[in-house]
Chains A and B, each alone.
Chain A
């Protein structure tokens, strides 16, 4: 039994073999044994290497972009031309990304407009309508769709889909031609619309899968609340499932959009590119960032490649913004899903 005294207890004399704070910190990180030390070095090295590679890529893109932009005689953002070799203007390079921005965004938006409703429908069917024996195979086929290589989609799009779209194009022209957006003047349907349709199929799996996951997370008691009020199945979905899943659908769409923006080879195979902006999405021509790089890279000289890299940097930034927005929405969703806890 210790008897409390007025004097504070004297600290025990510090012994020399006690670990110093630095040693304790190292022990806590698990870096005292050789195996631990090797693994720590490896994992730390990987982490640093990743950052270094990212920095190198960014520096490379920025440097080559600055080289390209320094000699560009056109306005990089507004010129409707891609002529870094200056063939049509006495060797003065002229190039701009206006057409590419337009084509990339328009084709991606078409893809989203088509894919999101279909994907949400499939996801709802899998999560809320289909019997279990049917839901699993459908989910599997959707996954399979994601595994098809882009070039296969491109070939299929160019050989099978595009030639069969003239009917749809004429129909759109008959009923919506007056808007100007769907005016069809004949010709091969290798337009931004066709690209959009193909992209829609390609981004369908990711949107479906993410939406399905969200729909499956809807708390049972929310759905039962609607059911007990006498809601039909569709009304349950409208009252409990879709409101809960809204932000999930948005972030799924953003992920799909990210893929549509960057898709290269399928677009390059299907689109008949030209440096024009058409009011009608059914007219052939136009281009996207990735498609333009893929089609021009092999025949470009060094300066031409720098110009393409400059456009690649813009695509990189657009994709980064889209992904950032998606992450922001997912993060907000986390707070919100706890609202009823």
Chain B
């Protein structure tokens, strides 16, 4: 259930402003790839081009290729709705549907994809909540609103919602930046388990987090404010944090940057 992503020559725009320029990289299946870099360097924008969420923003536009196991996501005749059903996403701020129960939140994606028997839904919801390490905390209150959970629980609920539809890839946009350290640890542990089944890409501002959870790390930077962000290098996480091949990466990681 995990696929490889090959990006080549990708540019993304907001209106006439070029946000990222000429990005090429490969994301290996069943691994965690972390994107690090200063604010505004386009790492979140790049993440959103991977499931065609970028073009939802007014003026959002993408050039270049994103191949998912050889299929171009931006090919003609590709429905972005189907792309998003294969590539799940978890956001910075936990965003369970406020009017839905915990159960309905997890089942929401399945219900979009077709009709299921109640027993099938029950199974998938249980499996997804277990997969998100949330089952034991919520199994007695599945019919309560998801907005009643703590922030960390809400974020794990969002992860359960995303993995319920068995996506090929899971994109995470700073999933822990709104959470306390204990909830963050819970999510990081979860990422370690999820990579057995999914290809995971995570944007983070926290370099320790990147070092802890990821197998590969990509460093993004921009020449100046208003300039497009670029991929500086991507390599094994260990190498990036011990002996990066580009000086800018070294500077950023060791805190000499900015």
In the bound complex, how far is the Cα of B84 from the Cα of A257, in angstroms?
42
Complex interface bits, A116-139 against B, C-beta within 8 A gives 1, otherwise 0 = 000000000000000010000000
Complex interface bits, A216-254 against B, C-beta within 8 A gives 1, otherwise 0 = 000101101111111110010001100110100000000
Nearest-Cβ distance from residue B50 to partner chain A, whole angstroms: 11
Among A228, A230, A239, A246, contact of B97 (Cβ-Cβ < 8 Å): A239
Q: Is the CB of B113 within 8 A of A228?
A: no
List residues of A (185-233) whose CB comes within 8 Å of B's CBs. Answer: 219, 221-222, 224-232
B112 surroundings in chain A (CB, below 8 A): 229-231, 235
Q: Is the CB of A229 within 8 A of B165?
A: yes
A340 surroundings in chain B (CB, below 8 A): 95-96, 98, 147
Residues of chain A whose beta carbon lies under 8 Å from any beta carbon of chain B: 132, 219, 221-222, 224-232, 235, 239-240, 243-244, 246, 339-340
14 A-B residue pairs with CB within 8 Å: A219-B95, A224-B91, A225-B158, A225-B161, A226-B97, A228-B162, A230-B83, A230-B109, A231-B84, A235-B112, A243-B98, A244-B99, A339-B98, A340-B147
Tell me whether A222 and B53 are in contact in the complex, defined as CB-CB below 8 angstroms, given that A230-B112, A231-B81, A232-B81 are known contacts: no
Q: Is the CB of B99 within 8 A of A228?
A: no
B158 surroundings in chain A (CB, below 8 A): 225
Q: Is the CB of B98 within 8 A of A224?
A: no
Nearest-Cβ distance from residue A337 to partner chain B, whole angstroms: 8
Asked if B244 lies at the interface with its beta carbon under 8 angstroms from chain A, I say no
Nearest-Cβ distance from residue B104 to partner chain A, whole angstroms: 10
Nearest-Cβ distance from residue B110 to partner chain A, whole angstroms: 9
Main secondary structure of the interface of A (DSSP, over half): helix
In the bound complex, how far is the Cα of B97 from the Cα of A246, in angstroms?
14
In the bound complex, how far is the Cα of B97 from the Cα of A244, in angstroms?
9
Q: Is the CB of A228 within 8 A of B147?
A: no
In the bound complex, how far is the Cα of B23 from the Cα of A256, in angstroms?
54
Among B91, B99, B161, contact of A243 (Cβ-Cβ < 8 Å): B99
Q: Is the CB of B108 within 8 A of A228?
A: no
List residues of B (180-237) whose CB comes within 8 Å of A's CBs. Answer: none
The 4 A-B residue pairs with the shortest CB-CB distance, nearest first, are A230-B85, A243-B99, A228-B89, A230-B84
Nearest-Cβ distance from residue A69 to partner chain B, whole angstroms: 47
A219 surroundings in chain B (CB, below 8 A): 95
Q: Is the CB of A229 within 8 A of B84?
A: yes
Asked if B249 lies at the interface with its beta carbon under 8 angstroms from chain A, I say no
Asked if B45 lies at the interface with its beta carbon under 8 angstroms from chain A, I say no
List residues of B (65-98) whose CB comes within 8 Å of A's CBs. Answer: 81-86, 88-89, 91, 93, 95-98
Q: Is the CB of B145 within 8 A of A229?
A: no
Nearest-Cβ distance from residue B90 to partner chain A, whole angstroms: 8
Q: Is the CB of A339 within 8 A of B53?
A: no
Nearest-Cβ distance from residue B107 to partner chain A, whole angstroms: 11
A339 surroundings in chain B (CB, below 8 A): 98, 145, 147
In the bound complex, how far is the Cα of B144 from the Cα of A47, in angstroms?
46
Among A132, A221, A230, contact of B81 (Cβ-Cβ < 8 Å): A230
